[in-house]
Structure 1
Amino acid sequence: MNENETLYYVGIKFLGNDKSYYFSTSFNDLKEGDLVVVETAGGLEMGKVSTPLTQINEYKGSLELKPILRKPTKDDLIDYNFNLEQGKKALNITKKEVEKLELPMDLLDAVYTLDGTKITITYTSSEKRVDFRELLKKLVHLIPARIELRQIASRDKAKMVGGIGICGLPLCCSTFLTQFEGISIAKAKNQMLTLNIPKLSGACGKLICCLSFEDDTYTLEKKDFPHLGTLIHLEEGDYFVDAFNIISRTVRLANQAKDDYKTFPLEDIKAMLNGTYKKKEITLEKEYRLPDFKITSTNVKENSYMGLHPDKNDKGKYNSIEKNNKMQKSNQNNNKPANSSSKKENYNRNNKHKHKFNRNKTNG
């Protein structure tokens, strides 16, 4: 590279390792996802660009950056794909030997360098140290390369393998987290979570990383809330702050016997403590009541609401409540007893027809 050329630096990720390593370059057309060939402590390797191009004068690291050697050639790509297949075969060979020796090892991956001179076998174990000297003696005769066994922790395993978290989304460690922070149970206490370790544990078996995402927010917001146990005087008696919810900004109060609980907005609690709280009385502007109605139909489905929703398949069998009420009133009017004048009129009409019938009979 010429000193007059504009220099950049980019992050590179290698197969089997999700961490980005930074290298300098004079290529000004590199973009995320491009393959490049670099020289590492393990040998010649091919990696993938993981960060955008950045001016070299903005680099703030303490280590000197190694340069990107070249973009991959056709031969590099052939060697790379060949090494992928050889890595799978080497992993199967190692698994068989581990089973024979009954070693407490969970093998994850086997990756060759681009030149094929070195292979790195990654594993996890429940034990801190595993005596794999006997395993190496056998692998030397089975795998023609320099062998490195690399043990990683359970969180690194989850990052490498991936998975779905309790939230239903891909694991944070396998998507965007580049390094792990220390997470203690104190963060769960700070967020007032139930200390149920299985529910607070992730796929790796450790406390979930998202406990640290909102911890600073809870620490800041809790300053606005009264301390647990703060005494609050109500008309019903003395109550104490039992719990509060930062998201809904509400405070729950409990009496001394803890058999009565009341929930108030944070603003009302502050007013109570300042002596400026005024109880809000809820009054209705108008009295509402349900209308009186009577169900006359007996063919009503169980899931229909008090006969108000008729069966769509039986049209004509049901009438609305208003129509039923009108029909009931009409029937009542028809069933009323006739008055004296109408009785007399009916009597005269019947006698007239009877007299006419007798006269016709006599003439015949």
Structure 2
Amino acid sequence: MENKPLHNVVSVRFSKVGKLYHFEADADINLIPGDQVVVETARGWQLGEVAQIIGDVSTPGEGSWKKIDRKATEEDFQQRKTNEEKEAELLEFSRKEIKAQNLDGVKAVSVEFSLDGSRISVLYSYEGENKVELKNLKQEINKFVHHSQVELRQVGPRDVAKIFGGMGACGLPTRCCSKFLTDFSSISIRMAKEQGISLTPTEITGMCGRLRCCLIYEYEMYAENRKQLPKRNKRVLTPVGEGKVFDVLPLKMAVIVDIPEIGRKEFFNSDIQLVDGSSYPQIQPKIRPEENDVVIEVDESNEGENEPESGIKERNQGKNQQGGKGRRPRWRKRRPSNQNKSNDRK
């Protein structure tokens, strides 16, 4: 078996809280987390920060990684500082042009320069439903910045909230997306229902106007715990009697049971037993008669006429112990089917 060549792979991010991209570093470049490096990306040359040293990795299939060009120098840092000043100027110019052209719903969010200034990305958000034409805006931006390739890229409301930062809807001084979230997960209203969170829009909506990202943090644990607990309105046996499940507490692995004449009490899942649709689970009725079983027809109307008084008393006492109805015979004579009745009517 041939040994595949190993590559020294490192993870690089281009913003404070951004996605991690893998690059290959040559053996003569000694890197540690926190170092600034210059790499070539699809958006031109960029200045990034080493976030993680993955180490020697074999090439997966036919894939490969782009190489790190060099460690950042003082000239690179100075160029980056100059680009930041140009980004602020272009952002202000873009906002004025959007206002001058009456582009309703379009907002310039941020501007990104490549390290050499050859490529410029203008990030904008659009809240309208119809498609907006930005051809004239792009032409004006090209006139403002010479000899650079300009790209207008639309971003969603979550990205806008991440770029602007600020206080979260829960009251934290920094939003999760601006603090540690490097990617956005798919959030659904089902996650809020599974965790018993109020569906009031102010309770589940973030500053971006979308469902809060934190709804997914504990969703898997809630879903797994609920599978092991009985659902609401199920009949269960507890150490103090039988009752109905009133509420489920997935975090505590417990349920609240409503027991007649006692009230609502909390029990752990290990202390209860599910009743499968029967009020007396200790009795297991037969589903089909065996060969030796005898079908007995009982006439309840004449029952007790020829029975002595002592027998009647014993039978009544047995009824009171079993709930007042007494125990019925296992099998009765089968009644005529509906087909016979319909034939008689005809």
State the TM bucket, normalised to the shorter chain.
Answer: 0.5 to 0.7
- Correspondence 1:1-364 to 2 at 5 A: 7-15=7-15, 18-26=18-26, 27=28, 29-50=30-51, 52-57=52-57, 60=60, 63-103=63-103, 104-127=105-128, 129-144=131-146, 145-165=148-168, 166=170, 168=172, 170-232=174-236, 239-254=243-258, 262-267=264-269, 270=272
Q: Which has the higher contact order (CA 8 A, sep 6+)?
A: 2
* In structure 2, C-alpha distance between the alignment counterparts of 1:62 and 1:126, rounded to whole Å: 41
1:8–1:56 CA contact under 8 A, matched in 2: yes
Q: Deviations over 1:196-232 (max 9, x none)?
A: 2321112222112222221221122113322111135
**CA deviation vs aligned residue, 1:297-356 (integer Å, no higher than 9, x gap):** xxxxxxxxxxxxxxxxxxxxxxxxxxxxxxxxxxxxxxxxxxxxxxxxxxxxxxxxxxxx
Q: Higher mean Cα deviation, 157-166 or 210-219?
A: 157-166
Name the aligned partner's letter for residue 264 of structure 1.
E
Q: Which amino acid in the other structure matches residue 145 of structure 2? A: I
Q: Percent identity of the aligned residues?
A: 28
CA distance in 2, matches of 1:33, 1:7: 20
Amino acid of the residue matched to residue 55 of structure 1?
G
Q: Take 2:100 and 2:17, find their aligned partners in 1: how far apart are those partners?
A: 28
Structure 2 distance, partners of 1:117, 1:39, is: 12
Q: For 1:187, give the aligned amino acid.
A: M
Task: Report the residue type matching 1:42 in the other structure.
Answer: R
CA distance in 1, matches of 2:223, 2:15: 39
Aligned partners of 2:39 and 2:248: how far apart in 1? 55
Counterparts of 1:149 and 1:191 in 2: how far apart (Å)? 40
| Local SS of the residue matching 1:220 | helix
Is the CA contact (8 Å cut-off) linking 1:124 and 1:152 kept in structure 2?
yes
After the TM superposition, which of the residue ranges 165-174 and 185-194 deviates more from structure 2?
165-174
5+ residue gaps, structure 1, are: 277-364
Contact 2:257 2:267 in 1 (8 A): no
CA separation of 1:267 and 1:238: change in aligned 2, threshold 3 A: closer
- Relative to structure 1, the CA distance from residue 10 to residue 61 in structure 2 (aligned partners, 3 Å threshold; closer, same or farther) is farther
- Out of 20-29 and 103-112, give the one that drifted further: 20-29
Following TM superposition, by how much is the alpha carbon of 1:245 offset from its aligned partner in structure 2, in angstroms?
Answer: 1.4
Task: Give the CA deviation at 1:17.
Answer: 8.1
Task: Mark the runs of 5 or more structure 2 residues left unpaired by the alignment.
Answer: 282-346
Q: Give the distance between the partners of 1:110 and 1:10, measured in 2 at CA.
A: 27
Residue 151 of structure 1: CA displacement? 0.7
Deviation at 1:45, TM superposition (A): 2.0
* Structure 1 counterpart of 2:140, one-letter code: K
Q: Aligned partners of 1:30 and 1:126: how far apart in 2? A: 43
Q: Contact 1:125/1:151 (CA < 8 Å) preserved in 2?
A: yes
Instruction: Give the superposition deviation at 1:255.
Output: 7.7
Task: Supply the distance in 1 between the matched residues of 2:64 and 2:234 (Cα, whole angstroms).
Answer: 57
Distance 1:265 1:62 in 2: 57
What is the alpha-carbon distance in structure 2 between the residues aligned to residue 139 and residue 190 of structure 1?
48
Q: What is the CA deviation profile of residues 18-55 of structure 1, one whole-angstrom value per residue up to 9, with x for unaligned ones?
A: 222221112553122221111222222222222x2222
User: Bigger shift: 85-94 or 68-77?
Assistant: 68-77
What SS is found at the alignment partner of 2:82? helix
Equivalent AA in structure 1 for residue 142 of structure 2: V
The 1:60–1:209 alpha-carbon spacing in structure 2 relative to 1, beyond 3 Å, is farther
Q: Could you tell me how far 1:163 is from its partner in structure 2?
A: 3.1
Secondary structure, counterpart of 1:262 in structure 2: strand
2:7 and 2:59 in contact (8 A); partners too = no
Which structure has the bigger radius of gyration?
1
Contact 1:7 1:24 in 2 (8 A): yes
Give the Cα–Cα distance (whole angstroms) in 2 for the partners of residues 199 and 28 of structure 1. 50
SS at match of 1:32: coil
Q: Which residue of 1 aligns with 2:302?
A: none
User: Aligned partners of 2:33 and 2:212: how far apart in 1?
Assistant: 29
Q: Do the aligned residues in 2 keep the contact of 1:16 with 1:109 (CA within 8 Å)?
A: no
Q: What SS does the corresponding residue of 1:147 show, helix, strand or coil?
A: strand
Rate the CA distance shift 1:267–1:133 in 2: closer, same or farther, 3 A.
closer
Query: How much does 1:138 deviate?
Result: 1.7
> More helix by proportion, 1 or 2?
1
CA contact (8 A) 1:158 1:203 kept: yes
Q: Does the 8 A contact of 2:39 with 2:47 survive in 1?
A: yes
Larger mean CA deviation between 37-46 and 146-155 belongs to 37-46
Partners of 1:168 and 1:53 in 2: CA distance: 31
CA offset digits 1:248-267 (Å, max 9, x no partner): 344224589xxx95132225
* Cα distance in 1 for residues equivalent to 2:90 and 2:43: 18
Q: 1:268 to 1:113 in 2, by over 3 A?
A: closer
Q: Counterpart of 1:57 in 2: which secondary structure? A: strand
CA RMSD of aligned residues (A): 3.3
Query: Which segment is superposed worse, 83-92 or 118-127?
Result: 118-127
